[in-house]
């Protein structure tokens, strides 16, 4: 059964920081918004897991220009300067907006101003934290969900798995005209017509067996956009957080960057501090360098620990909770860590307002690749980008709807029926999908992880193609395998090392590759000769 719902001005897929910020800004502008989510409004999302904070130049003596310079330096030469300039300029204004939505930022007890943290590659203290400590994402989502619940123009619909983006049915296929979902509660399909669609579906970390991301972070939005013909960007750039807690938990709890900013040290099992031999800034080096250093130490048989004994760990309750649950007290004992997939700099190519290459489709948050992060994200710029691009996308859509004709949902019945027939819901008893998921995550970690090599990447692409072709596989995992293949394909084509992409067979940066990369699903499906680039 396929049921067509009432048309909205905008349909948003995803209910994290980006999705809810966009919904609130659109509603404030008088637009009718439908937010589709896999879970309840107060349910889990990746944004709620963010620990460190949000970066913005709000301190006396700081500036958006300085924030921009730090962002560009961390980005390893491939960031879009215009995007960096615009988003760092807007960031302080969005701190005020978040305060209006009820976010409780930590204040300095003496000055009354914001209490600011110093994190890796920032030239000064610039990271705002929550009053609750290292649980900034949780506080942000508390405030945003409360604000959304009070807004009558926002219709929130839980338990919806997006199955496809729907276009106007014309000879040339027109603008997007809505989203088709599978309702997990009622086991029916729904069409949500809208004049504009925003994807705010988060990242890809759960494609890896070592990750700090929740289990549903498998790149679903990238798959939706890719199948709709969208251009993707920088897919090879995956940031591995160097200090995920090695406590045999999946996902791995995160030891926030702020710990090293406050003086925590990385040591081996014999107490040897090793980061000074890898980079002049030691523990405050860019994340890609710290992750590779930790990976290198682990590869030689060492164990790696984060020594927080010189800090007051009570300032970091999330760290203490995770460690104490495992029988470790971080105040008295160094805690074991390893790199884990944490953030994807790549995604659906978008401009500074979140516009994709598909007419009628905007993207914001981690699913988007605006060019802010380049090859390597600056610490705590992720939530900044999420809320600022969400706000900019909302403003752009509001303007667009004043002049654009309302798309007609003249969808082909055969097309929608085919989607419904081919869609395979997730089943907890589905052993084929369970085994395939385990294999996919193991291959991603081993062959498309911190260190990559041509032979391994080719093996990975072949493995993901086989998974995609499995019969009766849950559609969510077919999409995950597609996204994994796109990442591996992009990594195979970039024959250098830069930022979050390290090739053991091409360990140096190359000036030939000092640019962003772009790819479409059609290009990835084309088996090109080894010497041929497939970037648009």
Question: What are 441's two structure tokens?
Answer: 């995550």
Per-residue burial over 377-398, b if 16 or more Cβ lie within 10 Å, else e, is bbbbbbbbbbbbbbbbbbbbbb
Over 399-438, what HEC string results?
Answer: HHHHHCCCCCCCCCHHHHHHHHHHCCCCCCCCHHHHHHHH
Q: 122, exposed or middle or buried, with CB in 10 Å at 0-12, 13-18, 19+?
A: buried
Catalytic residue among 129, 190, 287, 452: 287
The label of the residue with tokens 């309302």 reads: 406
Mean predicted confidence (pLDDT) in 362-369: 98
* pLDDT of 501: 97
Residue, of 439 and 110, whose pLDDT is higher: 439
* pLDDT of 171: 43
**How sure is the predictor about 60, in pLDDT bands with cuts at 50, 70 and 90?**
very high
Question: What are 490's two structure tokens?
Answer: 């992009």
* pLDDT of 174: 65
**Beta-carbon count within 10 A of 359 CB:** 15
Question: What are 37's two structure tokens?
Answer: 């989510």
Of 40, 55, 66, the C-alpha closest to 95 is 55
Alpha-carbon distance of 345 to 55, in angstroms, equals 17
**How sure is the predictor about 534, in pLDDT bands with cuts at 50, 70 and 90?**
very low
**332 Cβ partners below 8 Å, 6+ apart?**
309
Residue 298 has pLDDT above 80, yes or no: yes
* pLDDT of 411: 57
Question: What are 357's two structure tokens?
Answer: 């290459």
DSSP 487-517: HHHHHHH--S-BTTB-BTTB-S--GGG-S--
pLDDT > 90: what percent of the chain? 78
- Residue pLDDT, tens place only, 91-103: 999 999 999 999 9
Phi/psi at 336 (5° precision): -70, 140
**How sure is the predictor about 132, in pLDDT bands with cuts at 50, 70 and 90?**
confident
**How sure is the predictor about 468, in pLDDT bands with cuts at 50, 70 and 90?**
very high
Contact (Cβ atoms closer than 8 angstroms) between residue 364 and residue 390: yes
Beta-sheet pairing, 368-369 with 265-268: unpaired
**How sure is the predictor about 358, in pLDDT bands with cuts at 50, 70 and 90?**
very high
* pLDDT of 356: 97
* pLDDT of 532: 37
Degrees, nearest 5: CA angle 269-274-275: 135
Assign 150 to helix, strand or coil.
coil
Residue 253 has pLDDT above 80, yes or no: yes
Assign 101 to helix, strand or coil.
coil
Alpha-carbon distance of 368 to 351, in angstroms, equals 9
Mean predicted confidence (pLDDT) in 265-284: 96
Beta-sheet pairing, 232-233 with 518-519: antiparallel
Alpha-carbon distance of 77 to 116, in angstroms, equals 27
Residue 286 has pLDDT above 90, yes or no: no
What is the chain's mean pLDDT, rounded?
A: 91
Q: What's the pTM value of the predicted model, to 2 decimals? A: 0.92
Mean predicted confidence (pLDDT) in 431-455: 95
Q: In angstroms, how far is CA 438 from the centroid of its own chain?
A: 21
* pLDDT of 379: 87
**How sure is the predictor about 430, in pLDDT bands with cuts at 50, 70 and 90?**
confident
The label of the residue with tokens 């107060």 reads: 42
* pLDDT of 293: 96
> Does an H or E element contain 335, and which?
strand 335-344
Alpha-carbon distance of 347 to 488, in angstroms, equals 13
* pLDDT of 169: 57
Alpha-carbon separation of residue 511 from 77, 331, 494, 495 (angstroms): 10, 45, 12, 11
For residue 16, give the DSSP letter.
S
Mean predicted confidence (pLDDT) in 234-260: 93
Active site residue 494: no
For residue 304, give the DSSP letter.
E
* pLDDT of 134: 66
What domains, with CATH codes, occur in the chain?
Answer: 238-343 (3.90.700.10)
Residue 412 has pLDDT above 70, yes or no: no
Residue 535 has pLDDT above 50, yes or no: no
- Residue pLDDT, tens place only, 260-274: 989 999 999 999 999
Residue 46 has pLDDT above 90, yes or no: no
Please, what is the end-to-end C-alpha distance for the chain in angstroms?
39
Mean predicted confidence (pLDDT) in 371-388: 95
Question: What are 212's two structure tokens?
Answer: 């700090």
Crossing angle (nearest 10°) for helices 475-493 and 454-468 = 160
Beta-sheet pairing, 304-307 with 335-344: antiparallel
Alpha-carbon distance of 204 to 107, in angstroms, equals 33
Degrees, nearest 5: CA angle 315-318-323: 105
- Return the CA Rg of the chain: 22
Residue, of 303 and 174, whose pLDDT is higher: 303
Alpha-carbon distance of 152 to 149, in angstroms, equals 8
**How sure is the predictor about 43, in pLDDT bands with cuts at 50, 70 and 90?**
low
Of 362, 359, 347, the C-alpha closest to 12 is 362
Contact (Cβ atoms closer than 8 angstroms) between residue 294 and residue 300: no
Mean predicted confidence (pLDDT) in 404-430: 73
């Amino acid at each position: 059964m396929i049921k067509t719902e009432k048309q909205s001005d905008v349909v948003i897929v995803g209910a994290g920081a980006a999705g809810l910020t966009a919904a609130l800004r659109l509603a404030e502008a008088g637009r009718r918004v439908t937010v589709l989510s896999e879970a309840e409004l107060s349910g889990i999302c990746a944004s709620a897991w963010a620990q460190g904070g949000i970066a913005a130049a709000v301190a006396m003596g700081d500036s958006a220009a300085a924030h921009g310079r730090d962002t560009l330096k961390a980005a390893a030469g491939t960031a879009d300067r215009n995007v960096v300039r615009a988003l760092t300029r807007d960031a302080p204004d969005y701190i005020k907006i978040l305060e209006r939505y009820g976010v409780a930022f930590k204040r300095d007890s003496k000055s009354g101003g914001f209490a600011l943290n110093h994190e890796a590659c920032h030239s000064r203290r610039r990271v705002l934290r929550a009053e609750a400590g290292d649980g900034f994402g949780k506080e942000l989502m508390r405030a945003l969900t409360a604000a959304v619940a009070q807004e009558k123009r926002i219709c929130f619909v839980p338990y919806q798995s997006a199955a496809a983006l729907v276009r106007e049915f014309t000879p040339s296929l027109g603008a997007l005209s809505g989203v088709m979902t599978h309702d997990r509660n009622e086991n029916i399909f729904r069409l949500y017509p809208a004049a504009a669609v925003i994807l705010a579906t988060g990242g890809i970390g759960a494609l890896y067996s070592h990750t700090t991301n929740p289990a549903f972070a498998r790149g679903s939005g990238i798959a939706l956009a890719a199948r709709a013909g969208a251009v993707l960007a920088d897919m090879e750039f995956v940031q591995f957080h160097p200090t995920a807690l090695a406590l045999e938990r999946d996902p791995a709890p995160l030891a926030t960057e702020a710990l090293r900013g406050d003086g925590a040290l990385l040591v081996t099992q014999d107490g040897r501090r090793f980061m000074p031999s890898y980079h002049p800034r030691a523990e405050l080096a860019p994340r890609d360098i710290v992750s590779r250093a930790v990976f290198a130490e682990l590869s030689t048989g060492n164990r790696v620990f984060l020594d927080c004994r010189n800090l007051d760990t009570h300032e970091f309750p999330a760290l203490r909770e995770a460690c104490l649950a495992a029988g470790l007290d971080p105040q008295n004992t160094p805690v074991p860590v390893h790199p884990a997939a944490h953030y994807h700099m790549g995604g659906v190519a978008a401009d500074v307002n979140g516009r994709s290459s598909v007419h009628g489709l905007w993207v914001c948050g981690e699913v988007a690749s605006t060019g802010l992060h380049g090859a390597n994200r600056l610490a705590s710029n992720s939530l900044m980008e999420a809320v600022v691009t969400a706000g900019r996308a909302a403003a752009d859509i509001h303007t667009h709807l004043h002049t654009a004709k309302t798309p007609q949902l003249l969808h082909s019945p055969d097309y929608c029926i085919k989607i419904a027939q081919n869609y395979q819901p997730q089943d907890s008893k589905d052993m084929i999908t369970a085994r395939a998921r385990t294999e996919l995550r193991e291959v991603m970690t081993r062959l498309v992880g911190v260190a990559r090599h041509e032979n391994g990447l080719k093996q990975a692409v072949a493995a993901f193609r086989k998974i995609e072709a499995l019969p009766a596989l849950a559609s969510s995992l077919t999409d995950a395998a597609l996204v994994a293949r796109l990442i591996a394909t992009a990594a195979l084509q970039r024959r250098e090392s830069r930022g979050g992409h390290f090739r053991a067979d091409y360990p140096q940066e190359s000036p030939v590759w000092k640019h962003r990369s772009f790819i479409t699903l059609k290009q990835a499906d084309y088996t090109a000769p080894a010497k041929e680039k497939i970037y648009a």
